[in-house]
Structures are given as structure tokens and as C-alpha cells.
Structure 1
């Protein structure tokens, strides 16, 4: 079967930037990564990850390009994770982040599942809308809950009074 995805740039401008693409359900997440980077004009050499997402686009489990985990934690890898093991009729959304320094962020959604078309090479870029900007769109990160009464500087300690602290002020 062939999965048809719409990949949308998380963009703050008024222009919609997206790509519609097709890929075999048995291909790897690395194959999906490759067609996304190529279709948006990236060289594909930066770090990237997919994240399983729910219907509200909340970021879930990571599928990494390279294993950067510490302390023996297991991480799903793009090269060994088959697309249909993550994405199917009941789970249709992914978040894709390319280039961790610039945080190009994309919403990836399964649009439909179709039969393979004879004579078509897959993966296949079906449709292009909009041009990717020269720089990644700015991200604003908001805390989920803010404690209005919290002030990190109101701890009752006078930073200029070294007499009550347990160290020598000339230690270095």
C-alpha cells in the first residue's frame, strides 16, 4: 500500500508551505526523512527526529536519526523503524524537526492510503505549495503553567553577604 502524506511547515507567515508526497508503507522512517528534506530543498545533513503525535499535535515518542541517548535508554531509530509500525488509520500524525540549531518544524499527516500505481516510482513528490523561507520561522515557547507568585530572586538570601554562606569568598 502507498501512504499519501501532507507535510506542512510550521510557519508564522501568511503563506502556506507544504508538500504532498507518496511513500510505500513498508519503507523506513529514514526514507520518509529523505523525501521530506529533498522536497523542501534541504541537503539532509543536519540532525532530525520524528515525534509521534496525537490529534492535538502534542509531541510524543521520538524516532531519532542517530542514537544520542544516554544511560542505555532505547530509542527508536529512523533507519530501522518501518512507517506502518507507527502510522496507520488510527494514528495519522507526526511532528518532524529538522536541524536542531534552527528547528525547522513540520506537521506530517497521513491523508490517505491507496494502491500502488503501476509505473510510478516511490517515494513520489506529488504536489508543491509555497517556497520555504531563507530562515526557519521563529519559535515562541510558552510554559504550560506559570506560577505568578514565584520569583527566583526572592529566596531570602543576600548575595552580597558572604558571612552567612559556607564557603570562602576568595576561593578561586
Structure 2
């Protein structure tokens, strides 16, 4: 079967690409199709994130194994698209370039029979021009008063006198001029 995705840039303007790819292709194959469809060079790190129906981010699936033990963490190439996405689970988030934070909402729009003579992945439709920079992301708590919890920034003079000012590097196991 062929999965047809609509990949939408998280931006104010409508910028999206429709991509067809085989269901047994991997998330890494989808990653390659997305960065090619949007004109990126593919030289940046990226991740997919599973999400719920309202796009709330869940588990990260990265391009490379970043775990403490090699092979401990599953990566994009370990997942066939059909492992994560189907008629009931249609959404996934894609982030390309963790400096720019290009964020895309990827939704499975259709599952169809492959077209005879067609090669996959295929860019089916392109709408909108990519901006020069990713839009600014605003990360904030639902209730800003809860952001710091019970943090108390009132110090008395005795507390301030007991602070060493960060100049005692012997406690950290390295010398002051370590570089």
C-alpha cells in the first residue's frame, strides 16, 4: 500500500507538500522525502515525534542513536511507516534543524494501492514558498504562575553570606583554567 501524507509547515502562511510513500518504507525514508520536498540540504539533525489527535507531542524518534548505550535507542531507520501510522493513528510531528526548529505537522491523508509505473516516494503537490527562517516558537506554561512552582527568591543575609560565588572550582573536579 501507499501512504499519502500532507506535510504542513507550522507557520502563519499555508505552506505544505503532499508526499506519497510506500507503507513499508521507514521513517528515515519519509525524513528524506520531506527535506527534499521542502528544499533543505539534509545536513541537519531531525526527529519525528509521536503525538495524540490534538498534536500533543509524545515520544521522540531521532535520526541517530543518542542513547548512552549503542543500539539501546530505536531510530528512524528502525521503524516502518506502518509500525506507527495507520487509519486510526494518522499524525506525527517532524522537526528539522534543532537550531532553526523547522516544525512540520505530518498527517496521513490516504492509504491507497500503488499506481503502476509510479516510483515512490513521490512529491504529489506543493503549495507555498518556504520562508528564509523558521517562525519564532513561543514556549510557555499554560498558567505562567505555575512555571516556577514554589520557588522562593527571597534570601536573607545569612543565605547570601554562605554562597561561595562560584569561584571554588576544586569542588567540581577541574581547574579554573581548564581550557
Q: What is the CA RMSD across the aligned residues, in angstroms?
A: 2.5
- Count of residue pairs brought into register by the alignment: 168
Deviation of the 1:108 alpha carbon: 0.1
Contact 2:63 2:75 in 1 (8 A): yes
The structure in which a higher percent of residues are helix is: 2
Structure 1 moving runs of 4+ over 4 Å? 148-153, 166-172
- TM-score under structure 2 length normalisation: 0.84
Structure 1 residue aligned with 2:55? 57
> How far apart, in 2, do the equivalents of 1:42 and 1:102 lie?
12
- TM-score under structure 1 length normalisation: 0.87
Structure 1 residue aligned with 2:8? 8
Cα deviation, 1:36-68, whole Å, max 9, x if unaligned, reads 000000011100000111111011111110011
Contact 1:62 1:75 in 2 (8 A): no
Deviation of the 1:158 alpha carbon: 3.7
Structure 2 gaps of 5+ residues are 170-179
In the TM superposition, 1:15-164 aligns within 5 A as 15-70=13-68, 74-147=72-145, 152=151, 154-158=153-157, 161-162=160-161
Structure 1 gaps of 5+ residues are none
Change (3 A) 1:90 1:154: same
